[in-house]
């Protein structure tokens, strides 16, 4: 089955710096890759996603890149703010295949003012 590895497990940056979180997946049939943000005491919330027919997607300060050949995808947050502090999860999904979302183990991002 699918296996998703996520790095780093913790990341501390200064306000205004960029943050990058990387994930790799094992199943070449996976074709949808969402990123979720989880604030303390809340459920995960989708912040951006990318499909396998696209190499990059941006939404204001957040971007995701996908390298299908290498089976890895990354989340980039620019101009970080204290409210970006949270746990971020990557995931992989095989639409038409297993139809199950497999999550990485999460990255705790801390943005220091």
3-state secondary structure of 34: strand
Judged by CB, which is closer to other proteins: 1, or 113? 1
- # of chain residues touching other proteins (CB under 8 A): 24
Residue closest to 73 by CA, chosen among 94, 86, 96, 91: 91
Centre a 10 Å sphere on the Cβ of residue 40 and count the other Cβ atoms it contains. Answer: 7
Q: How far is CA 14 from CA 25, 64, 87, 93, 109, in A?
A: 29, 21, 16, 32, 11
CB of 88 to other proteins, least distance (A): 11
| Residue 40 in contact with other proteins, rule: CB under 8 A | no
| Residue 46 in contact with other proteins, rule: CB under 8 A | yes
For other proteins, which residue of 32, 65, 71, 72 counts as binding (CB under 8 A)?
A: 32
- Name residue 57's beta-bridge partners: 64
| Residue 49 in contact with other proteins, rule: CB under 8 A | yes
Q: Which residues bind other proteins (CB under 8 A)?
A: 1, 6, 9, 32, 34, 36, 41-46, 49, 89, 93, 95, 99-106
């Amino acid at each position: 089955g699918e296996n998703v590895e996520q790095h780093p497990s913790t990341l501390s940056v200064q306000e205004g710096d960029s943050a990058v979180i990387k994930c790799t997946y094992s199943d070449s049939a996976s074709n949808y890759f969402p990123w979720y943000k989880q604030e303390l005491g809340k459920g995960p919330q989708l912040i951006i996603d990318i499909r396998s027919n696209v190499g990059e997607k941006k939404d204001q300060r957040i971007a995701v890149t996908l390298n299908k050949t290498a089976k890895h995808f990354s989340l980039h947050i620019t101009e970080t703010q204290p409210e970006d502090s949270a746990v971020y999860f990557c995931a992989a999904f095989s639409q038409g295949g297993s139809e199950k979302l497999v999550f990485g183990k999460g990255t705790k991002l801390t943005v220091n003012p």
